[in-house]
Structure 1
Amino acid sequence: MTGQPVRPLILRLCLPAVISNLVTTAYNLTDTYFIGRLGTAQSGAIGIAFSIMTVLQAIGFFFGNGTGNSMSRELGKRDNERAARLLAVGFCGSVTCGLAVAVLGLLTLRPLVLALGSTATIAPYAVAYLTPILVAAPMVCGSFSLNGMLRYQGQSAFGMIGLVSGALLNFALAPVFIFALGLGIFGAGLATAICQTVSFAILVTMSVRFGVVRLDPRRCRPDVLLCREIVGGGLPSLIRQSAGSVATTCVNIAANPFGDAAIAGMAIVMRVMQAVNSVLVGLGQGFQPVCGYNYGAALFARVKEGYWFCVRLATAVLLCIAVGVAALAPVIVEVFRSDPDVVAVGTLALRIQCCTVAFTGFNMISNSMQQTMGKTVVASFLALCRQGLFLAPIVLVLPGFIGLLGVQLAQSVSDVCTFLVTIPLQRRVLAELGPGNGRKLSIPRTIIRHLSGKHDTMAHSA
């Protein structure tokens, strides 16, 4: 981690992470595709359920990234014993919180889906889909957290195996449960729950047998300092994902007055953009262990080299994807639901978001770097900006002036606002690592130079 060339190392680590994220997204897209064959109300139920799934991911990412950030730094310092304790506490915490969500969610499920923006016609389908998923909530949270913990140890491939195995099973089970067994949307939820449980079992096995530090729940001995490290490292992820859940709910509420087709169309768009962002997130996840190990070892030049490489690569990849998605937007939406009203809503929203998605490369990689370095306040604030401080109020206010177009525009406006806020904050973080790459140049000009490959390779280490 601290001796190999930075760029090939990041690519080696990010490839399994990208595959894992794409496969996880394929879970959602599989359900969206098959459920879209059942009706518009059922498609809308997926958008409502997305809020709950985001909460479960938030818990998993909180413990996975919170534990993993500290683990990577401790491993960089050669303190494997403390890293093992962090692993045990993070794992037990994620499963316990997942159990709490399962109990509360099942007890309040119908009023909950109505509060999340469901219409009366969508609510029964949302309840049917979410019931088995909530039963499996401890395993869902545990899977996401263990994947993160393996990744921060430099074992991304093992995390990928766990997630891919469950996803492949989901591809087979979903159509059987939905159509062959006649279970409808409940069958889709049941297939997802079973597959997440299988992934959880595989990831536990991988962590026990193959981790750099082995998972042993008996080492779960939390203390104040250890818990503070986990909270500090995981808070940005928790805020980011929780804000995403709130934003999704706000999108559903804002689309509610425009009918089931509007909710269904925006649900499809959110799933498609999640697939696009999964590539970006995977790249950031490949960078984080490199950042953590080298920051812990005070090799700051390697941290900055990896950061700018990831910004360049993420921006270039997102631009290419955006062009393709914008060109094929009607076809993409129609794959999931052929209702003309749904296609019209989704096509315009997709094309608008493609215009600004490239900004998220700089935003996400910067946020990942801040989080891994332990810059909790800055990382948490930026994690909240995109989905919380900007998207949630924008999507609730803008439709009052321009109708449904306000719902479709909200995400892009939020992306631009977050980019503008990230620039000065990230410039300060880069300046703390030493001279060059961010001290004398403004961030926008630096980005342009790095995208063109004309950047300095100044070395600095403490």
Structure 2
Amino acid sequence: MNETKKHYLAEEPLGKLLLKFSVPCVLSMLVSALYNIVDQIFIGQGVGYLGNAATNVVYPYTVAALALALLAGDGCAALLSLSLGRGEKESAHRCVGSGMMLCAAVGLVLMALGLAFQEEILTLFGVTESCHGYAAEYMTVITLGIPFYVFASGMNSVIRADGSPGYSMFATVLGAVLNLILDPVAIFALGMGVWGAAAATIIGQAASCAATLFYFRRPKSFSLQRASFRPSGLLCRRIGQLGISSFITQIAIVAVMAVANNMIVLCGPRSVYGADIPLSVVGIVMKVFGIVIAFSVGIAVGGQPIVGFNYGARNFERVRGTYSRILWANLAVGSLAMLLFEACPQALVSLFGNESQLYNEFACLCFRVFLGGILLCCIQKASSIFLQSIGKPVKAAVLSLSRDVVFLLPGVVLLARLFGVEGMLWAAPAADALSALLTLLLVGGELKKMRGNRAGVISTVCG
């Protein structure tokens, strides 16, 4: 048996391995999602729903930054796992160096664009006259922290792929804890409002970035050299191909938010809710949605080193076994979330401040309808990461695009125009159902290839 086959990813029990990688990964992604939720909660209590509407307008720009961070980071992590599984040490350290350079460049470019084109960006994402002042104030500060956010978010994926999920979690939690402590101090004690919330966020992001950078002094499975940072078009292209699914998953949220916000501004005044209430509520619901997807994608990304290594080593039985466990975990997460959203949405709404009866009515409707297909969405998101992990970027991209871009966006526009802001909420569960069918087709085909003529998705879940 060669050295590759003796690697712990090829030998240790799959359940134990998946727990080892997924739990820290889920916690890291959950903490990242909570950055925005924490701001929403404190701003809702200290400023009101117009403050939350303002953060909702800025939110898509931060998600766009995350999308580009994961394009480089998750792509680099997938290539690292595949390279280690094949025993390609040169490719391992070169891809990490390229990923680091890409994350640094992306962060600086996005900061410059955000500062230079702030007004155009706010208009693109549906700012209203009522919340414009808060939105401009919040975005000015948040944009300054974008380089820290991009580098930490992207390279944390590489730390996990290097076999250090615990450290990855520590780096992310460090920033979140600082944000959690500083938010109420800035908003309530110092009376700094949305400016203070944004400042607390970027201080936490800077701390996470410093901890992430420190890790690469002594990584486990590769050694960074000067040659690691030498530009390579081939490696950057491969990183982009493997990271495209993660990129699409996030950038689709940006597109959905932009379209939904603009449809709310257009159609909201014709409803009893107006525009500002739906603008605030949809932002909150999307961020709660992000927490559930943090669990879903975190489980799948946690399994990525196991899947990628064993696929590279052609140990397909372990690949199928890992996916089976990822799928079962997502079924549990999606079922619990769906039950929570359908049974007690008002409890979630009240976390973000005590508003009018009209506000609460629309918020409960939004949770129940817009997130009604969350179970199917969890399976689709995790399956897209699985396809990315086995080096199938085209199929991963198609699956990522299907839910949010192909099905959801047209549905939001059509239903909003036909039935107003209440009607557009039904676009999400319809998109979840259609993309679940595509998941069955694409992932089932790959599993069938791996096991010959014997099975598909159903037998893998049962196995």
Which TM-score band (shorter chain)? Answer: over 0.9
> 2:373 pairs with 356, 369, 386, which one?
356
State the 1:361 CA deviation. Answer: 2.9
**Correspondence for 1:438:** 455
SS at match of 2:10: coil
> 2:382 pairs with 365, 375, 387, which one?
365
Q: 1:176 to 1:377 in 2, by over 3 A?
A: same
> 2:350 pairs with 310, 313, 334, which one?
334
SS at match of 1:209: coil
Which amino acid is 2:259 matched to? Answer: C
Maintained 8 Å contact 1:208/1:216:
no
1:122-160 CA distance string (max 9 Å, x none): 222111111122111111110111111111222111110
Which structure 1 residue ranges, 5 or more long, are not aligned?
456-462
Which structure 2 residue ranges, 5 or more long, are not aligned?
1-8, 269-274
Distance in 1 (CA, whole Å) between partners of 2:453 and 2:368 is 37
**Correspondence for 1:154:** 163
State the 1:95 CA deviation. Answer: 1.1
Distance in 2 (CA, whole Å) between partners of 1:156 and 1:237 is 18
Distance in 2 (CA, whole Å) between partners of 1:437 and 1:23 is 40
State the 1:405 CA deviation. Answer: 1.7
Q: 1:125 to 1:334 in 2, by over 3 A?
A: same
**Correspondence for 1:179:** 188
Distance in 2 (CA, whole Å) between partners of 1:132 and 1:78 is 44
Maintained 8 Å contact 1:45/1:118:
yes
SS at match of 2:11: coil
Of 338-347 and 117-126, more deviation after overlay is shown by 338-347
Q: Does 1:287 align with 2:296?
A: no
**Correspondence for 2:335:** 319
> 1:8 pairs with 13, 16, 31, which one?
16
SS at match of 2:183: helix
Maintained 8 Å contact 2:337/2:375:
no
**Correspondence for 1:105:** 114
> 1:195 pairs with 204, 227, 233, which one?
204
SS at match of 1:219: helix
1:407-462 CA distance string (max 9 Å, x none): 322222211111122221112111221226634xxx4x547xx3xx4x3xxxxxxx
Maintained 8 Å contact 1:72/1:293:
yes
Q: 1:251 to 1:211 in 2, by over 3 A?
A: farther
State the 1:384 CA deviation. Answer: 1.2
**Correspondence for 2:136:** 127
Aligned 1:16-165 pairs, distance under 5 A: 16-37=24-45, 38-165=47-174
1:174-220 CA distance string (max 9 Å, x none): 11112222211011111111110110000111232344324557621
Which amino acid is 2:290 matched to? Answer: Q
Distance in 1 (CA, whole Å) between partners of 2:52 and 2:246 is 28
**Correspondence for 2:364:** 347
**Correspondence for 2:319:** 303
Q: 1:172 to 1:426 in 2, by over 3 A?
A: same
1:392-411 CA distance string (max 9 Å, x none): 12111111122122232222
Segments ≥4 residues shifted beyond 4 Å: 214-218
Maintained 8 Å contact 1:266/1:345:
no
Q: Does 1:246 align with 2:247?
A: no
Of 215-224 and 351-360, more deviation after overlay is shown by 215-224
Distance in 2 (CA, whole Å) between partners of 1:109 and 1:124 is 12
Maintained 8 Å contact 1:77/1:297:
yes
Q: Does 1:416 align with 2:425?
A: no
Q: Percent identity at matched positions?
A: 29
Q: Does 1:169 align with 2:178?
A: yes
Which amino acid is 2:113 matched to? Answer: L
SS at match of 1:233: helix
Please, what is the CA RMSD of the aligned residues? 1.6
Which amino acid is 1:434 matched to? Answer: R
Q: 1:308 to 1:201 in 2, by over 3 A?
A: same
Scaled by the length of structure 2, the TM-score of the pair is 0.93
SS at match of 2:303: helix
Distance in 2 (CA, whole Å) between partners of 1:374 and 1:180 is 50
Q: 1:132 to 1:161 in 2, by over 3 A?
A: same
Which amino acid is 2:326 matched to? Answer: C
Of 339-348 and 288-297, more deviation after overlay is shown by 339-348
SS at match of 2:335: helix
Aligned 1:249-268 pairs, distance under 5 A: 249-256=258-265, 257-258=267-268, 259-268=275-284
Distance in 1 (CA, whole Å) between partners of 2:444 and 2:187 is 51
Maintained 8 Å contact 1:264/1:342:
no
Maintained 8 Å contact 1:337/1:343:
no
1:229-269 CA distance string (max 9 Å, x none): 11111122222211211111111112223210111111111
Of 300-309 and 319-328, more deviation after overlay is shown by 319-328
Q: Does 1:234 align with 2:243?
A: yes
Distance in 2 (CA, whole Å) between partners of 1:216 and 1:135 is 30
Maintained 8 Å contact 1:291/1:303:
yes
Of 62-71 and 220-229, more deviation after overlay is shown by 220-229
Which amino acid is 2:309 matched to? Answer: Y
Distance in 2 (CA, whole Å) between partners of 1:221 and 1:47 is 39
1:75-116 CA distance string (max 9 Å, x none): 112223321111111011111111111101111102210121
State the 1:171 CA deviation. Answer: 0.5
Maintained 8 Å contact 1:307/1:365:
no
Paired residue total? 446
Which amino acid is 2:424 matched to? Answer: V
SS at match of 1:398: helix
Scaled by the length of structure 1, the TM-score of the pair is 0.93
